[in-house]
Structure 1
Amino acid sequence: MLRYQTRIIDLRIGEFDYRIRALKDRQQYYDPDEEAERAGVPPAMWAIFGQLWPTGVHLASEIAKRDIHGKRILEIGCGLALSSLVLQRGGADVTATDQHPLAERFLHHNAGLNHLIKVPYVHLDWRDDLDATLGKFDIIVGSDVLYERNHATLLSNVVGLYAADAAEVLIADPGRGNCGAWTTAMLANGFTSTESRFSVEGRPVHSGRLMKLQR
């Protein structure tokens, strides 16, 4: 029996309508075996994965504009995996990753809601030894994945391991303070950087950043 409440969110991304099952609110919590806490998800952060954040919607909308058919793409910190669903519909070879123990369950449920085939999922904890057997990816995407100070270094390591020699990285951020450190690390690893701005509700106008890095 589920011990948390959910809701269905309907939204349109590009030319398609999507149905997403999300947690009802940020007050939801259920970790009887402390599985999430062992995975590095403290109680105060437990419900974060299950929200549909504006940065995730913006990233998915950007992806929907692109021709990604046949591209090998990694979504990091996928949460509800809206971007992975958009990528799957667009014909990409996508792998979704997260550290939350319920992310895979929500991903597969949401794929079913949208009549999509099962999206491959890998549990990925940036703090642990990363699984090099995943191989290399043409594109790496993520939204709001730089919300802690050490995430700039950890994300740099993730990109360094999984990005192909000629790769693109798309990261949507609501305007947190760790973007500069991460971009600097990426430039040192041979990437070039451009970014565009967008507005995020509840934050200063145009505080959101879509960072696009290529090499």
Structure 2
Amino acid sequence: MRGAAATALSELEREIDAPGAGLDRLQLVPTPFVPEVRLHLAEDAIVWWARMEAAAGHALPPPYWASVWAGGQALARHLLDHPELAAGRRVLDLAAGSGLVAIAAALSGAARVVANDIDPYAVAAVTVNARANRVDVTVTGGDLLDTGDAEADLVVAGDVFYSRAMAARMLPFLQRAAANGAEVLVGDPGRGHLPGDRLTVLADYPVPTTEPSVDSSLRRVQVLRPA
């Protein structure tokens, strides 16, 4: 690991090793709805972000990896409940965030797991979270969405249809992966940009809400595949 991701990893490792607790600290905790997986999460990611930006003296990417998102929770639960989906297969976790889904795939017996995210802090977070769960996950940075081959037997993507622009880029990549023979699974909590006519629902989960600024204690989350 080099460059920005290596710097981010050093910072997260210092954060994890620092004594103390509170809203602005990272804690290794069981994941709601997926307690088999433990993640380094912030009790309040916004407070943690503010402290880290103040210490750095410049803007940092929003720490989406420091919270658990409903689409990822549902996908991870689905993989652990149906380990045959990942067992013995090459798995790619797109927009991996904390690495929850990638770790669930590894725990389900995947032959190889690659977690990809464009945020160097997410790359670092997946690294420390995979280490905490004693699984092997290869972590990559950079944008894969304009590439041709996913080089995976199973592609998983949680909460990736959060904006119209992202949906317009994500869906063609997933469709190409499916056309090339990969199984594709998407976790979505109804964010409003899901192309429902091009996806088939496989499962529906009531997922406990841990996201910031969400009023309901539960969200209905679908696991889908391209039609």
TM-score (norm 2): 0.71
- What displacement does 1:35 show? 7.9
User: Partner of 2:97: helix, strand, or coil?
Assistant: coil
- What displacement does 1:13 show? 7.1
Structure 2 unmatched runs, 5+: 1-10, 16-23, 210-214
Q: Counterpart of 1:55?
A: 71
- What displacement does 1:203 show? 4.7
Q: Which amino acid aligns with 2:28?
A: I
Question: Measured at CA, do residues 206 and 131 of structure 1 come closer, stay the same or move farther in structure 2, by a change above 3 Å?
Answer: closer
Give me the identity figure in percent.
Answer: 22
Q: Counterpart of 1:6?
A: 26
Q: How does 1:30-45 map to 2 (within 5 A)?
A: 30=52, 32=56, 36=60, 41=61
C-alpha contact 1:7 1:23 (8 A) present in aligned 2: yes
What is the CA–CA distance in structure 1 between the aligned matches of 2:119 and 2:58, rounded to whole Å? 11
C-alpha contact 1:195 1:212 (8 A) present in aligned 2: yes
Q: Which has the higher helix share?
A: 2
Runs of 4+ in 1 over 6 A off after TM superposition: none
Q: Counterpart of 1:88?
A: 106
- What displacement does 1:207 show? 3.7
Is residue 205 of structure 2 the alignment partner of residue 198 of structure 1? yes
Q: Which amino acid aligns with 2:119?
A: H
Is residue 25 of structure 2 the alignment partner of residue 25 of structure 1? no
What is the CA–CA distance in structure 2 between the aligned matches of 1:13 and 1:143, rounded to whole Å? 15
What is the CA–CA distance in structure 1 between the aligned matches of 2:204 and 2:116, rounded to whole Å? 26
Is residue 92 of structure 2 the alignment partner of residue 74 of structure 1? yes
What is the CA–CA distance in structure 1 between the aligned matches of 2:119 and 2:221, rounded to whole Å? 25
Which shows bigger deviation, 204-213 or 84-93? 204-213
What is the CA–CA distance in structure 2 between the aligned matches of 1:170 and 1:11, rounded to whole Å? 20
Match of 2:146 among 120, 130, 133: 130
Q: Which amino acid aligns with 1:73?
A: V
What is the CA–CA distance in structure 2 between the aligned matches of 1:211 and 1:176, rounded to whole Å? 14
Match of 1:112 among 108, 127, 131: 131
Which shows bigger deviation, 140-149 or 156-165? 156-165
Q: Which amino acid aligns with 1:60?
A: A
Cα deviations by residue, 1:17-40 (Å, 9 ceiling, x for unpaired): 33211133221223548685xxxx
Is residue 118 of structure 2 the alignment partner of residue 102 of structure 1? no
What is the CA–CA distance in structure 2 between the aligned matches of 1:33 and 1:60, rounded to whole Å? 36
What is the CA–CA distance in structure 2 between the aligned matches of 1:144 and 1:96, rounded to whole Å? 15
What is the CA–CA distance in structure 2 between the aligned matches of 1:11 and 1:203, rounded to whole Å? 18
Larger RCO (alpha carbons 8 Å, 6+ apart)? 2
Q: Which amino acid aligns with 1:140?
A: V
Q: Which amino acid aligns with 1:6?
A: L
Question: Measured at CA, do residues 124 and 163 of structure 1 come closer, stay the same or move farther in structure 2, by a change above 3 Å?
Answer: farther
Structure 1 unmatched runs, 5+: none
Cα deviations by residue, 1:172-193 (Å, 9 ceiling, x for unpaired): 11111111x3x44xx4xxxx62
C-alpha contact 1:49 1:100 (8 A) present in aligned 2: no
Matched positions, count: 193
- What displacement does 1:104 show? 1.6
C-alpha contact 1:136 1:163 (8 A) present in aligned 2: no
> CA RMSD for the aligned pairs?
3.0
